[in-house]
Amino acid sequence: MMCRNRTRIATLVLVLTSSCPALAAEDADSFKAAPLAQLLVHVQREGTTERKRENKKLAREEIFARREQSLKYLINHAHIRNMWIQILTEQLVNRLEAEEAVPVLLSYLDSEHDRTRKIAAYYLGFFDVPDHAGSVLPLLEDEEAAGATVRTLGKWKIQKAVPLILPFLNDEKERRRVIAANALGEIGDPAAVPALIEALEDPYFTVRKCAARALTAIGETARPPLEAAAPAVGTTARREIESVLSTLGRQAETPVE
């Protein structure tokens, strides 16, 4: 795996450096005028000398300084499985305001590259912009982007998405079942309680725990269905139900300040 990643990085560096002359750290102004492809090359190079380390630093600073322009460039290359593109994208998204990042991310929801659609949907969830749910909802039918879309809709607490998220609790992929349970807990709609109770019998510990956490987050409205279900479920699910009911009981006893 490590060799494969290095090969991918080396291939990208080779492509990007074909028309990118080297920059010198002592000429910091040249980084401000350099194309983003050239800056990315410097970021990826190993810092084996003081000059290379300084070049990496200057290149990163300039990438972050260009804000939306850099985000568009990185997302445009997101279909390339490159570690540094992933790292820089997340670091940049965390630096940007919603008005800077969201228009860029929205423009890639219909990208021809499935990985790009997934990444755009995922990073939209970093911003509190639920008004854009209508643009994201269609990606629930996108095999590659569906999981990221469920996560984002959960972050935005989109209640109308609950019926569309519920089937993901039965997805063949464990990770998607986990994401669905987390999203339903964040949305907090009691309509999800019956399906979450069923998920307490999932064969995977991770899914069961996320479903239990979601039921706890939904709160007191989950108590009657949980109490009714307890006698009929298996031992493992019953333990989860008892744990959730115990937590809800402690929360009810805690005075609100």
Q: What is the pLDDT of residue 20?
A: 53
Query: Residues 28-66: pLDDT tens digits?
Result: 788 998 999 999 999 998 888 998 899 999 999 999 999
Residue 4 confidence (pLDDT) above 90: no
- Residue range(s) in the chain whose domain bears CATH number 1.25.10.10: 157-257
Count of residues making up the chain: 257
Q: What is the pLDDT of residue 96?
A: 98
Q: What is the pLDDT of residue 46?
A: 87
For 95-156, CATH gives: 1.25.10
Question: Domain 157-257: what homologous superfamily?
Answer: Leucine-rich Repeat Variant (1.25.10.10)
Determine the residue type at 147: G
CA 52 → CA 55, 59, 91, 185, distances in Å?
5, 10, 21, 47
Residue 16 confidence (pLDDT) above 60: no
Q: Smallest Cα–Cα separation from 149: which of 107, 112, 180, 185?
A: 180
Which pTM value belongs to this model?
0.87
Q: Rounded mean pLDDT of the chain?
A: 90
- Residue range 85-100: mean pLDDT, rounded: 97
Query: Residues 207-257: pLDDT tens digits?
Result: 999 999 999 999 999 999 999 999 999 999 999 999 999 999 988 777 655
Residue 120 confidence (pLDDT) above 90: yes
